[in-house]
Every structure is written in C-alpha cells, then in structure tokens.
Structure 1
C-alpha cells in the first residue's frame, strides 16, 4: 500500500517555509514599506512644486510593476557575505542567512503584513489621483472653474491687495460668460496657502477645473504664472507665464480669461472663445487702478471702518480718472451695503449708491455689477418693479455674479416670493459656498419661509466662517426666540453686543436681566435701549411686540419709514409682525412702501 502524499495544507506550509528561507517574504515587506514612503512623499509635494502629473503616475506604475520583479529576483538570488549569488537548487543559506524557521516565519510574516498595510493605506490615500474620473464625474459640473488666490511673491504683505485684485478681476471677467460656473471670490480666497491638492479642492467646491498661479510685482514690472488644472485627473490643461510691464495688466487678465474659456470648450456651446471675454481697458491711469484694487480689498472686509476706507480709495481713483467705470461701480457697492453694517438708516447711502451706479452705467452700459448695485439700491428705496428689471439685466450680463444673485434673493423675499427667493439664494450659494454673507442671507430667507431649524443651520455656518459677524449673531437670536430657546437667544444677543467697538449695552447685563426676570425682563431692557445706537427700528419694534406694546412697536416702525431703514425690506414678510396685520397704522406703513399687506 503506497504512502499518502502531502495534502494542500502541507504543500502551502512547505511553500511558505521556502518563501521565508529564501527571504522573499522579508524582501516583499521591505519593498512595500519603501514604496509607501516614496509614493507618499511624491503625492504630498508634486502639486506644490508644479511637477507634471506624469511624475506621480509614473512612480505609482513603476511601484506596482516592480513588485513581482523584485519577488522573482529574491527567489533566485541571495545576498550573502560574498555579494549577490544565484541560488542553486537545494542550496542552504549560510551564516547569518541560515534557515531560522521559527523566528524567520514570525519576523517575515510580521514584516510582510506591516508593509502590505502601509501599501494599502498609500493606495487609498492617493486613489483619487489614480481613478478620479469615476469618483468625480457624478458631483463635478462640466464647464466650472475656481480661480484660487494668486500667490503674492512680491515679498511684502502690503502688496497682497494687488495679487488678490488680480484674482478678483479674472473671476469678474469669467463671471460674464453665461455657460461657465465660476466660484466667487469669497470662497476661492479661503484656499490661500492651502495644503489641499486640486482633487480635494474640486470636490469641495464642485468644480471640474481650478486656476492657480502667482504674481510678482517689481516696480513697474509684472511676472505672472498660471496653470489650469483638471480636478478629476489633476492633469495640467495649460500653463502660461507672463513677464511684462504694468501697462499690460488688463491684457494679461483678458488673456487668462480667454485661455480658460477656450480650454473649457465654450465654443462647443455656441460661444466663440475669442469673443467670450471682451478685451477691456478700464483706465489708462495705473495709479487709479492701484487705488481701485485697494478699495476692493477693503470692500470685501465689510466692516464699517473698512467700508469707509473703501469709499475713500474709490473716490481717489475717480479723482485721478473721472471716466473710470469700475471705480464708480466699486463706490456704488460700498454705499449700497453701508447701512446694513452700520445700523439701518439709509437715505443718503442709497442716494449715493444710485448716483455712482448710474454714472458707471453711463460709462459702461453693459457692466452687470453696476446694474446689480443699482438694483439693490432701488430695493432699499422700495422701487420694487424697477429693482426687478435691473436685476434681470444684471444677471443677464453677469450670470456668474454671486452677489447679484444674493441681492436678488433679498428683493424676492421682500415681495413674499419665498420659493423664488430660495432658488436665487441657492444659486448664489452654489457660486460662493464659503461666503459668510451668502450663508447668512440663506438663513434669513429660510427664517422668513417658516423653516427656523434650517435657518439656524445656515446662521451657524456663517458664524463658523466668521465668528465676528454681528448680523449673523443678531438674526440667529430671532431664530432662537421663535424656537423658544430663550437662554440661547440671550447668549446670541450678548455675543452680538460684544462685537461693537462701543457696545449698545454693558457686557453681561442682558444675561443678568434674563436671570432676574426671564424673557419679560430681557425684552424690557432691550426695548428701553436709547436712540442713537446701531439697532434697526425693526428690532426695536420686535422687542416692543414681545411685551405686548403695539402702539410703541408701530411708533418705531413709523420712525423707520422716515429714516428709510434698509431692514424694512422684510417688514411685510417677518412673522414677528403678524400681530400688527389688523392695524390701520401698519396697513398705512405698507402702502408707504408700495406693498400690499400679506394675508
């Protein structure tokens, strides 16, 4: 009777033992660890060094292809004291490389497992670079781009306004292309000095391409480098460098926008890339342009002090060049948002905004941003039909202008068209998802639409983006009041109060009032705040109504009408005013605003 041969398990054990004896297992583990280190180092640095994507992809391919080659070499060759030698069949390793099976099995297995775990982690970490099409195709919108902040290589932080201005102007030119989704400035600027690669940024912003670059200003010379990257494959679509004089700044901006339009295939949508972005020479005075860029830098900060400074700079630019249409548009933008950040009284601000916007449009009738500023000023003056027509024209000329969509949402909300308002603010949010102002207005529209929980989410998001945003704290208190979360409402008002250079009331006193007498004492204190502090008449009326003081609330609202309080755009749609709807004085207020009472 013949002996039974080894079964499958015995054969596998013998094969494993041979792999350990020939040190193939050890080599595999070491190879996996070394490969992981190499891939990780290149994956985290190649984009920042502007290396071609092929460098990374080639390394990964060589790593995988090299693995079986190394294992075969380890099987047939051994490293001994005499160097690399071919293994003869049945040969036994000598000396330090002898067959130490027990310890060799454990060490080899541990090394292999550790190496394979690292290799697997490495693959998962960079998988988006290897197979981005499948992951991104569902979420990334074709014909979409984010212009990241141009790096300031001028060596002085004081010159940052110039590189930021370059970024903003390229965005503005692209926003005029109807078939192109362009992420707005606020969201793009949050990626300054980011460690994220194009793939991650593309997924966060929902764009298929990003433009990144740098600006170096040396006197009257400019050195600008830029590259357009496909966020799904991380392939560079094109790269360009410009070394020119300051007088060519507008030509460079136009060239960049035109190259992006061409690269994203706008001609396929019936738009000729050569004419999609009109060559523009806003001013022949480069000092005036420099002042304009400084003005925009301060306008984007939106604090009362920054807005005052932006107005000064825009006016200086206009003094140097009275035909500088962009400076007039910037001046209109500053005046039209000023009352929202300084307390509400708006008659003079809105008149000045209209004057500046109309002058900009005389000089450049097709300037969508100026039409939007004029429309928003008309909203504040309660000229609803004229405002709506201006917004239609503004968004026709600059469909990618997120601020225009945001302001349009305010108009629609004021007129009680909440579904349209939500659609407009969602459009603004898609173009500028990291804007604190747009998140805040989103919350306001949701509050007016009767969705306080959703509104609270967006107010909280605005405060995550900027914890020092007073309006978000104030109107967050409205939501908490409606939800019956009175203690949190008091805390929100305390935070709002603390953000003023001269607070309306002493820190902590509102909390003391609440602890001493609950919400009645709280609203009693708020309703008694003296005139002259930056509080809208709409808020004062709200607090009076909580105490049941209808006449006092109506008196505050009538005063707000006289002062042209900008927050009165929501007086007819605010749920807080529902107790007034049967009052003749309230009906008269609405008539003065060209509004019909909501039923």
Structure 2
C-alpha cells in the first residue's frame, strides 16, 4: 500500500487531479457566462458539468502514464525512475479511458436529447412563451426546489400579462433534465419564444442567468444576469418578467405593478417553505404530499396571511386520498380539511386564481356541482391561462348539461398544456360524456402517446370502444389497463366478452363474482353490472356508492348507464347530485 501511495506521489497523480478540478471549475464558471451571452441553451450546462466529471478519470490515467518535463511530454518510466511494464500497454489504457468517457457522454446526450411526443400545433401566437425549468447550479442539489420554484413563479407572473400566452407548467417542465433544441420546444408547445436559465443559490444570495430565445431560429431576444440578496427575490421576479415583455415588444398599460396579480408574502422563510410545498406536491406520491402538507403548514405558521400557502394546503389535502395506501386516510376528513383551507385562501386572496380553483376542487369533492363550477369560473376569469381550472371544470360542466362550455374548457386545458397526458385524457373523458366516443378515442390515443401507462386513458379508451361496438379493440385496451392497475387480464376479458354477448342480444350473464373481485369501486361495479345486463344489481351498487359518498359520482351519468336513468332510484341519485340529464 505504501509503495502504491509513493508511486502516486512520484507520478504526481494527486497534483494532476487537484489542478484538473481547479481548471474545470474555472472553465465551468466561464461557460455559464458564455452560454448566457451567446444565446446557447442553458441546459447545455448540465452536459458540460457531467463531461467535466467524466473527464477526471482520464486525467488521472494520463497523469499516471505520462509526465510533463522540460523536454516535453514523456512516459513516466522515461522521465526518471524506471517502472515495471504494465500488463496493459499505455495506448490500450488511454484508448479504453477515452472510449469510456466519450461513450458515456454520447449515452448521456442520446438519453437526454429526445423530446416528449407532441402533436403539431395549429398556429403559433407571436406573443407566446414557455418557461422551462431553470438549471440548478448550486453546490447543494437539494436547492433544485428553489430553481424549479423560481421558474414556476415567473410562469405565474407572465400568465398575468394581458395578451401573452404562456404554456402550462406540466408541459414546460416535461423538458426538465434534457438538452433540448428550443426550436423543438417551440413546435411541441406552440410558442414563439422560450425562457430558460440557471440559478446558483448560496446562503443569502442568489445568482440568476436568464435568456429569452426565439423558438423559430434560436435567436436570442434578451439575456441578463442578476446577483442579488434573497430578500429581493420578489422584486427580481417582476423585473425579469417586465424585461421579457419589453423584449417581446408588447405594450402594457402602466408598469410592472400590472404584472403582480397574485398576493405574495414578505416573509422569505414562509416563501421558501411554500416553494418546498409545491415541489413536493408535484411528486404526486403519498410521501411527497404528506411532506407538502408539512411544508405548507410551516409556511402558514410563519405568515398566517399567506393565501397561496392556504391554497397549496387545500390542494394537498384534496389529492391525498387518491394516492394514500389502504385506509390510512379518510377521504371525508381530507376533503373537509381541504375545503376549510380553500375558503381561508379565498378570504385572504379574493383576486387569486389559485384560491378559487382550490375552492372549486374542494366543492366538487363534496359533490357541490354548481358551487364548484362557479368557483372554477371565477378562477379562469382571474387567470384565463390557468389550465388546471379549465381542466377541473370541464366534466362538471358536461354533467350540468352545458356541453359547449364543457368542450371549450377541456380544449383550453389541452391547448395550454399540450404535453400533459392528464389534460388530454380529460378532454377524451369530456368528449365521451357529451356522446362523442369516436372523438374521444382520438384524444385518448394522443394521451397514451404522451404516457403509454396512463391508466385512466387506457380505461377511457376501452369504454369508448365499447360505446362504438369495437369489441376487439375494447378487449385489447382493457387488457392493457388490467395489467397496468394490477387486475387479472383474463377475468377482465371475461367481463368484456359477457358485455359483448348482452349487447349482441344474448341473455344477461351472471358475472357477479368476477365483478366483485375485479372492481374495487361501487361505481365501477355498477357500470359492469349494467354492461352485462344485470340492471337491478347495477342500481343497488349506484345507491350504495351514493350513500357512502364514494368519489367518482360522475359515473352515474356515464353514457353506458343511460338505459338505467328511467328508474326512479337512479333518477333520484342524479337529482341529489345535481346532474342534468
């Protein structure tokens, strides 16, 4: 061991590693400035960092085998003390190291260059922008919550600019972690410009590099670097947003204060916890949402008037039952907590779109259709580009018989968030409920191109095929759905076959045991019983689901249950929920 350490010292390998690290750090600092000023994608910075790290082993290998002398570069054994001949030649070692470094770099690039699938935009508005997630260049990787949060906050501010179309967060953030050509981003999101940048956060200071790029040709419209105290972060967000508006040559009445449509906290620690909450909420896991609840609650403890923190806490409580395992979370308790937080958010931020959207979601979770739609309408009045508010209101509008408004809302959500499988699948669901199953199939196909494992899209596609009488396609789609959600594909196929037999004029089949095993929701059991002709059992399940206040109440209006609506018991359930047939 001592001889090996002595050999490392003699060959100056450690010194070479230290020099390599110092030079790499200085070079990366310079590259950060160059990328910002020349209009090159800031996402290339990630590749340069990875490449520098992968180059370290090569530098150490070269230092072992070669030494820089006054006479030039020589093999270490020729520069002084003789060495033993290695079992591999110098050329083989160097070639292997180069192969590993360059091969790893090529693999990293190839795995990060692919953009998500997207459909061709119909047109691109010149006044449109996508805000990509900012690269976290801080020493601590956990500061990613801050770089993500800053980009999301800028997105919210820009969404308040009259006449400016802003791509929704889900679609913009789908490019996170990728080296992406801005022209492809523009085509995928149907925007004319792309905002990207980087954040380096250190203690109480933050350095932000941002640039606005024209998507058509990659031409840089504007770039700027900021080095500020964290206490200035709110004013800095407005300053960046106003610079972007100026670069796009848009005309605003007034000044930057017109962009500040949403109330914010003046407490930096409360804001920091809020950003953590949004970051954890975006994980859509039980652990992530539980952490988000703690984050939002901590933010409220620091600033009890922070409306957006109450809105975030409401959203977290409403989402928790859908991801919680077993009976750990009682939906009624979670919805009640969400409703209370949403009402408080509206009290504190009556002009905040997020507050009204949270209240709308809470009211819908409590089966208050009219009230929920009114709150969501108010949210879209305050921010017409709030895609989630459009998305959440689409199906309730269909249940209220407002079909044209329902389709407009669903299409608005999918247009603002074109790479969100959830938004596109919601458009498919809305089309199915307004009796357009063929169009629904098209949208479900788009959603599955974005996310092949999207369970709701797979089931919606299968149900649409059943409505169209395309039984082979329905069996295939239901088979994929069953595999995705952990059901027995053979049992589900038996149910589809029984439904086909009944639809073709055959007698109702006794599929109760299979339905009980494969359908964990009373609403789903009701639909299967109706499909195989067991109407009385279907109606009993509808009543059972209604009495227990099970979540998917819209199933009672499913087109596949239409023949049951003449039954007084089903009619009464629909009337109590507020559905207009």
Q: Is 1:170 aligned to 2:154, yes or no?
A: yes
Equivalent position of 2:396 in the other structure: 411
Q: Distance in 2 between matches of 1:294 and 1:523?
A: 48
Whether the 8 Å CA contact 1:185–1:432 is kept in 2: the answer is yes
Equivalent position of 1:329 in the other structure: 311
Whether the 8 Å CA contact 2:261–2:351 is kept in 1: the answer is no
Q: Distance in 2 between matches of 1:203 and 1:48?
A: 26
Q: Distance in 1 between matches of 2:463 and 2:245?
A: 44
Which of 482, 505, 508 aligns to 2:467? It is 482
Whether the 8 Å CA contact 1:251–1:279 is kept in 2: the answer is no
Q: How does 1:504-543 map to 2 (within 5 A)?
A: 505=487, 507-510=488-491, 513=494, 524-529=512-517, 535-543=520-528
Equivalent position of 1:353 in the other structure: 338
Q: Per-residue deviation at 1:330? A: 0.8
Q: 1:566 to 1:490 in 2, by over 3 A?
A: same
Whether the 8 Å CA contact 1:526–1:543 is kept in 2: the answer is no
Of 584-593 and 191-200, more deviation after overlay is shown by 191-200
Q: Distance in 1 between matches of 2:461 and 2:381?
A: 33
1:555-583: CA deviations, max 9, x gaps?
A: 221222223333213523x2111121110
Equivalent position of 2:569 in the other structure: 585
SS of match in other structure, 2:566: coil
Which of 23, 35, 39 aligns to 1:49? It is 35
Q: Distance in 2 between matches of 1:368 and 1:429?
A: 19
Whether the 8 Å CA contact 1:542–1:577 is kept in 2: the answer is yes
Q: Distance in 2 between matches of 1:383 and 1:167?
A: 34
SS of match in other structure, 2:517: coil
Query: Which of these two proteins has the greater Rg computed from alpha carbons?
Result: 1
Q: 1:518 to 1:232 in 2, by over 3 A?
A: closer
Of 462-471 and 162-171, more deviation after overlay is shown by 462-471
Whether the 8 Å CA contact 1:406–1:425 is kept in 2: the answer is yes
Q: How does 1:293-312 map to 2 (within 5 A)?
A: 293-312=275-294
Equivalent position of 1:147 in the other structure: 131
Q: Distance in 2 between matches of 1:458 and 1:345?
A: 33
Which of 277, 299, 302 aligns to 1:317? It is 299
Equivalent position of 2:447 in the other structure: 462
- TM-score under structure 1 normalisation? 0.70
1:71-121: CA deviations, max 9, x gaps?
A: xxxxxxxxxxxxxxxxxxxxxxxxxxxxxxxxxxxxxxxxxxxxxxxxxxx
Q: How does 1:177-256 map to 2 (within 5 A)?
A: 177-256=161-240
Whether the 8 Å CA contact 1:153–1:214 is kept in 2: the answer is yes
Q: Distance in 1 between matches of 2:555 and 2:489?
A: 30
Q: Per-residue deviation at 1:203? A: 2.5
Whether the 8 Å CA contact 2:482–2:492 is kept in 1: the answer is no
Q: Distance in 2 between matches of 1:595 and 1:450?
A: 16
Q: Distance in 2 between matches of 1:493 and 1:48?
A: 52
Q: Distance in 2 between matches of 1:147 and 1:271?
A: 23
SS of match in other structure, 2:543: helix
Whether the 8 Å CA contact 1:208–1:231 is kept in 2: the answer is yes
SS of match in other structure, 2:175: coil
Whether the 8 Å CA contact 2:400–2:578 is kept in 1: the answer is no
Q: 1:170 to 1:370 in 2, by over 3 A?
A: same
1:318-339: CA deviations, max 9, x gaps?
A: 2343322211111122233445
Equivalent position of 1:567 in the other structure: 552
Which of 428, 436, 441 aligns to 2:413? It is 428
Q: Per-residue deviation at 1:301? A: 3.2
Q: 1:393 to 1:281 in 2, by over 3 A?
A: closer
Q: Per-residue deviation at 1:525? A: 4.8
Q: Per-residue deviation at 1:474? A: 2.9
Of 226-235 and 178-187, more deviation after overlay is shown by 226-235
Equivalent position of 1:551 in the other structure: 536
Gapped regions of structure 2 (runs ≥ 5): 1-30, 41-119, 502-508
1:110-140: CA deviations, max 9, x gaps?
A: xxxxxxxxxxxxxxxxxxxxxxxxxx99932
- TM-score under structure 2 normalisation? 0.72
Give RMSD over aligned pairs.
3.3
Which of 323, 328, 352 aligns to 1:367? It is 352
Gapped regions of structure 1 (runs ≥ 5): 1-44, 55-135
Of 430-439 and 223-232, more deviation after overlay is shown by 223-232
Equivalent position of 1:87 in the other structure: none
Equivalent position of 1:79 in the other structure: none
